[in-house]
Structure 1
Amino acid sequence: MVTENKMNYVVTSILRMEFGGRTKALIQRTKNLSEHFNLDFTLVTTNYNANYYKVYNHYYEKGYADEKIGFENVYDFFSGRDYQKSETVEHPIEIPGYTVRPNEKNRSYKYYKDGQYVRLRTYDQETGKLKFDDIMTPGSPHRKIRFEYNDFGTCHRKIVYKPNTINKLEEVFYDDQGKIYLSFSHKGEDENFIWRGHLLHNNNIITLSDEKDFFRYAFDHILQAGGVTFCDARILDQSLLKCSVETEKYFVLHNSHNVNGEISKTYRYLIEHADKADKIIVLTREQLNDLLELGINPDKMTVIPHSMDDAETVDPASRKPEKKFIFIGRIVPQKQVHHIVHAFSKVAEKHPDHWLEIYGDGKEAGDVSQLIEELNVSENVKMMGRTDDIQGVFQNAIASLISSHFEGFGLVIMESLHYGCPVISYDFKYGPKDLLTDGENGYIIEKDNIDMLAETIIKMIENPITEVKLSNDYYLSSTIKKWGDLLQQ
């Protein structure tokens, strides 16, 4: 049972300034639990960022966190970095004994000694502060050592590279007084695998077998007994399960554990050691049933989906669909946006006055734009970029389209239904089967069947679905009760 005077934690790999998906969900969950149950939380990150104060300040300014939610980073914890420095160390461009050749556009400067290129300095384009100081291999374009500086002008990390490659051999981490507190040795391979580490902590040198061992040691010293610790990143499952602190360990699954017919490598440890978890929380009943078939104790499992805020009301009369369909999401391989473009090229042949708007960005955005040109459908398929008017986009569309290979929940399905917009979705794991009912609020079609996707879009044009509503199960008033029941166990 969780009580108000205990500290609770959320451990995750990274918190970004701008975010979606998993980070959005864990931040909303943390704030909701803090507000509704008067609980204190600390969000613990494990990635390396010597300027994390920017993210923390941004979250407070935007209202993503309040005074009952704090932040900690494992590297900052051991370095004692608190971002309270009152003075900044300046690093002038001119260095005695070197000839400098500037590239003012990139704020980078090459340094020559005896006519040979031996050093490269890079300054932040906005602040003008030194970011990187690279010692180059003479006669080679490769750096052999990089010194990294934070916003306060302090060198916080040194990286040594395998000769004539970009692969790491060693990382050395410094505190704000310039003292070494941590080092990692690498094998110099492409994946930069950490195979040994040494940490100076409490005047002892701790030998670490790998990165997961470092995280485990960090949790042992950052977390406090009592309360609950939520784990939202599969890379941290092993470290938290091996942590010796007596905290309730809850593991929240944000994605499918089975993508191509076998258990994903990132989920394997948790599934194989599920008996050591206090709770495993999934977002859909379909995933719950699949995990139970793997032999996980049902007492360990519970379903608590994402939810919409009850306070955000939607007037059905404000929905005025144009002759358009929409996609909203990251334009990445998992989403298979090219399937939608191919399908809509077939739709445009029969209904040339209808069009598709694609909202979002990602590494496949250029490929999708090129496909639009190749199929000669630029009049019917438009790349819109990111949008801050999610409600307006949904309320003016006939339906939203989802062609994902897999998801953990399909957050966009819930959002679409909330704004009264029906959904046409592939039958992927997980989300569609929990959220959609054929003919009532959308259609679920065979995954990867582009012809059927086109046929269903045409069906929606000729026989549109109206008066769509999201089930009450997916509003905060419902999910917060489920969280309350879980925390009181």
Structure 2
Amino acid sequence: MLYTMTSTLPAQHGGRTKSLLSRIAMIEKHLGYATTILTTNYDAAYDRIVQIFREKNILSETTQIENIYEWLSGNRLYEATTPLVTSREIEGLRAVQVETDTVRYYDGNTYVLYRKYHEASDQLSFEDFMSPASKKKVERWQYNDNGRLHRKIRYSPKTHKKIHEQFYDQEGHIYCEKHYEEQKRNKLISIQTYQLGRPVHTFQTEKDLFLYYFNHRLTDGDIVFNDARLLDWSLLNCQVRTKNILVFHNSHLELDQQRIKKSYQTALEGSDRVAKYLVLTTHQKDEIQARFPIPDDQFAVIPHSIKPVEIDRTHVEDQFCFIGRFGKQKQLEHLLRSYAIFKRSGHPTKLALYGADEDGQLALMKQMMYLLNIEEDVLIHDFTSTPDQVFAASRASLLTSRFEGFGLTVMESINVGCPVIAYDVRYGPREIIEDGQNGYLVPEGDVTGFAEKMVEIVERPLPHVRTKPGLYETQGIENYRNLMNWLHTE
């Protein structure tokens, strides 16, 4: 059997999820191997996410998705059931509608309950039970898309942190519960699983639970692609002898570019249980081998690949763009400073930023825009599901990250004819960008040099922006063919 493991599979996703879904589709379509995806986070709406992916042709009908909580429930978590309607009136309580789908309930003048309904329906989304003493919620009951209870969360009356969770299947039976510390860290203390209402197994950590799941779900000889470092310990400590491919989507180094990230230590120190390390660049492979005695034949260097498209640059707007998370890693303060320097050249070119806030960076970005007096020229947008259209309409896309796993957006931009100006950081830009041909590489941290390349690309556009041949899908298919052949002969 062929498996892919990931901690989460969100409906709106970034580079890691996009990459693993592309790999699965490529291996199935061109090599004939169907994949089962195992996920380990809790999401009562996974059935809806799968449906969305299938409707968008992101997942084929033969690609299966299983979640650990669905497995723990005896496959009764996502069963199709009749929608359950809950009246908005409660006997003995006074209901006050706040918005179309939200209602507050009072016992006399005391606020005791808050209800949120699914949009335009009488099916509950969640209920918050309020403490008259603290005015804080003491419990939250959550309901699935059909209005059926799937989780109860209890909060500490002292710290108001989550201290207890109970998980229910579609028939209302408990199958799992978790206990947490009240202290600031709110550490998970224990996990208890149930069958037919009776406790059966206790675990101290989620990694212990994942290990139990993998030991019962996998069999000797299975091929497992693991895309999440969170799952490395559980996979590598399995009793079953699987062929493990650890896929690195990001840098294994801390921000200082010296220390190994804690999340990568298990993977790199457990090479005796790893069939292949799948890395995106030779640069990363070489730097790993400089620190760990891992031989060449334990590595597969397979960069992201892309299908060639017809390039249409007839509707380019006078703008630069950035697409990605608004996080610390992306160093958007560098991008804004470079853009402010660029504006001194007198060009009216705008800067369009597409993404979602992370770690409160958006507020800092807006403050910097104000201080740099570029508020009127920087356009901030939400995450886009059509990055190709944004790239195709931009003079150039920009990347000032401190590090990358590969820089998938760099490749996507160039593929539609949009050149890229990027810091020459670990890892990816130098493998994708041919300096002066399809973009420019700038030394990391050189804000002024970055601005100079922005001016150059406006005044002297690059005429023949093309993807390197080695990054096209045909080469990607061949790379995975070689890997799968090796795995089936070992």
Q: Same fold (TM over 0.5)?
A: yes
TM-superposed deviation, 1:412? 1.3
Aligned mates of 1:132, 1:398 — CA distance in 2: 46
Stretch deviating more after TM superposition (212-221 or 440-449): 440-449
Aligned mates of 2:282, 2:226 — CA distance in 1: 20
Mark the CA change 1:134 to 1:448 in structure 2 (over 3 Å): closer, same or farther: same
Aligned mates of 1:386, 1:435 — CA distance in 2: 24
TM-superposed deviation, 1:357? 2.8
Whichever residue aligns with residue 49 of structure 1, its letter is D
Mark the CA change 1:324 to 1:174 in structure 2 (over 3 Å): closer, same or farther: closer
Whichever residue aligns with residue 36 of structure 1, its letter is H
Aligned mates of 2:183, 2:124 — CA distance in 1: 28
Structure 2 counterpart of 1:313 = 309
Structure 1 counterpart of 2:178 = 184
Aligned mates of 2:398, 2:104 — CA distance in 1: 48
The match for 2:419 among 404, 417, 422 is 422
The match for 1:287 among 278, 284, 288 is 284
TM-superposed deviation, 1:70? 0.9
Equivalence map 1:394-405=2 (5 Å): 394-405=391-402
Equivalence map 1:66-215=2 (5 Å): 66-79=60-73, 80-81=75-76, 83-105=78-100, 107-112=102-107, 115-200=109-194, 205-215=200-210
The match for 2:300 among 302, 326, 330 is 302
TM-superposed deviation, 1:106? 5.2
For structure 2, which runs of at least 5 residues remain unmatched after alignment? none
Q: Does the 8 Å contact 1:140/1:164 carry over to 2?
A: no
Stretch deviating more after TM superposition (271-280 or 51-60): 271-280
Structure 1 counterpart of 2:326 = 331
Deviations 1:75-129 (A, max 9, x none): 01111225333423322222233333332345132342x6433333322234332
Whichever residue aligns with residue 417 of structure 2, its letter is G
Deviations 1:297-347 (A, max 9, x none): 1222111111101xx4324x7467554432222222221223222212111
Stretch deviating more after TM superposition (362-371 or 159-168): 362-371
Whichever residue aligns with residue 303 of structure 2, its letter is P
The match for 1:227 among 202, 222, 225 is 222
Q: Does the 8 Å contact 1:216/1:240 carry over to 2?
A: yes
Mark the CA change 1:380 to 1:143 in structure 2 (over 3 Å): closer, same or farther: closer
Stretch deviating more after TM superposition (296-305 or 200-209): 200-209
For structure 1, which runs of at least 5 residues remain unmatched after alignment? 1-6
Structure 2 counterpart of 1:3 = none
The DSSP-based 3-state class of the residue aligned with 1:457 is helix
- Asked if residue 484 in structure 1 is aligned to residue 489 in structure 2, the reply is no
- Asked if residue 342 in structure 1 is aligned to residue 340 in structure 2, the reply is no
Aligned mates of 1:126, 1:262 — CA distance in 2: 51
Q: Does the 8 Å contact 1:308/1:476 carry over to 2?
A: yes
Stretch deviating more after TM superposition (371-380 or 33-42): 371-380
Deviations 1:14-40 (A, max 9, x none): 111222211111111111111112212
The DSSP-based 3-state class of the residue aligned with 1:151 is coil
Aligned mates of 2:63, 2:126 — CA distance in 1: 33
Mark the CA change 1:186 to 1:383 in structure 2 (over 3 Å): closer, same or farther: closer
Q: Does the 8 Å contact 2:81/2:170 carry over to 1?
A: no
Aligned mates of 2:385, 2:192 — CA distance in 1: 45
The DSSP-based 3-state class of the residue aligned with 1:350 is coil
- Asked if residue 271 in structure 1 is aligned to residue 268 in structure 2, the reply is yes
Q: Does the 8 Å contact 2:118/2:145 carry over to 1?
A: no
Aligned mates of 1:359, 1:151 — CA distance in 2: 30
Q: Does the 8 Å contact 2:85/2:122 carry over to 1?
A: no
Structure 1 counterpart of 2:463 = 466
Mark the CA change 1:165 to 1:131 in structure 2 (over 3 Å): closer, same or farther: farther
Q: Does the 8 Å contact 2:395/2:458 carry over to 1?
A: yes
Whichever residue aligns with residue 52 of structure 2, its letter is H
Aligned mates of 2:372, 2:245 — CA distance in 1: 48
Q: Does the 8 Å contact 1:174/1:181 carry over to 2?
A: yes
- Asked if residue 362 in structure 1 is aligned to residue 357 in structure 2, the reply is yes
TM-superposed deviation, 1:387? 4.5
Deviations 1:242-276 (A, max 9, x none): 22233211111111110322111211221121221
Alignment length, in residue pairs?
A: 479
Q: TM-score normalized by structure 2?
A: 0.90
Whichever residue aligns with residue 310 of structure 2, its letter is V
Whichever residue aligns with residue 68 of structure 1, its letter is T
Q: TM-score normalized by structure 1?
A: 0.91
Q: Does the 8 Å contact 1:116/1:139 carry over to 2?
A: no
The match for 1:243 among 238, 242, 250 is 238
Stretch deviating more after TM superposition (331-340 or 467-476): 331-340
Mark the CA change 1:126 to 1:23 in structure 2 (over 3 Å): closer, same or farther: farther
Structure 2 counterpart of 1:255 = 250
Mark the CA change 1:130 to 1:276 in structure 2 (over 3 Å): closer, same or farther: same
Deviations 1:213-258 (A, max 9, x none): 1111112223344331111111111111122233211111111110
Aligned mates of 1:449, 1:472 — CA distance in 2: 29
Mark the CA change 1:149 to 1:462 in structure 2 (over 3 Å): closer, same or farther: closer
Q: Does the 8 Å contact 1:232/1:253 carry over to 2?
A: yes
TM-superposed deviation, 1:369? 4.1
Aligned mates of 1:388, 1:179 — CA distance in 2: 38
Q: Does the 8 Å contact 2:421/2:439 carry over to 1?
A: yes
Structure 1 outlier segments of 4+, above 6 Å: none
The DSSP-based 3-state class of the residue aligned with 2:403 is coil
